Amino acid sequence: VIMDNIDKKILGLLQENAELSVSDIADRVGLSTTPCWRRIQNMEKNGVIKGRVAILDADKLNVGVTVFVAIKTNQHNPDWLKQFAEGLEKIDEVVEVYRMSGDVDYMLKVQVPDIGAYDKVYKRLISIADMFDVSSHFSMEQIKYTTKLPLDYIR
């Protein structure tokens, strides 16, 4: 997907506030409304813009405890991964999952209200597939959080 500086500005604005009207965005990037709308539609069609969501406050929803879970497995095959991924989809508290390089095979981010709730998630987690090691790390403080991606690398 080829994008120019105007597309980059549009993306920056949408990352700051996806509720901005097309006319507001157009004014800020120096376009009229219709071409701006077309650019946004094109970026949505091409998958650059995957969706628009509300960012919720975990503390106010009583899931302010963040747990990072490092998983090691000795099962490196498609069937295990399919079972593991399908099992994780059923655990709402697991909000992010990454396959890693290095000593850890998978890293999960889990949001829960407290340690007791995490223990229940842990028990569900270890029942979905054979794992060699599961190591849980509780976040003490969130230093930085953003959903904004860096835009300086757009070609």
Contact 147, 56 (CB under 8 A): no
Fold (topology level) of 5-45: Arc Repressor Mutant, subunit A (1.10.10)
- Cα distances from 129 to residues 11, 69, 132, in angstroms, run 39, 15, 10
Contacts of 23 (CB under 8 A, 6+ apart): 33, 36
Task: State yes or no: pLDDT of 1 exceeds 90.
Answer: no
> 65-138 — its CATH code?
3.30.70.920
Report yes or no: 22 and 40 within 8 Å, Cβ to Cβ: yes
Confirm whether pTM is higher than 0.85: yes
Instruction: Return mean pLDDT, the chain.
Output: 97
> At 155, is the pLDDT very low, low, confident or very high (cuts 50, 70, 90)?
confident
- Which of 126, 124, 130 is closest to 75 using CA atoms? 130
Q: Where are the domains of the chain?
A: 5-45, 65-138
What local confidence, expressed as pLDDT, does residue 16 receive? 96
What gap in Å lies between CA 69 and CA 135, rounded to an integer? 6
Round to whole Å and give the CA distance between 81 and 68.
19
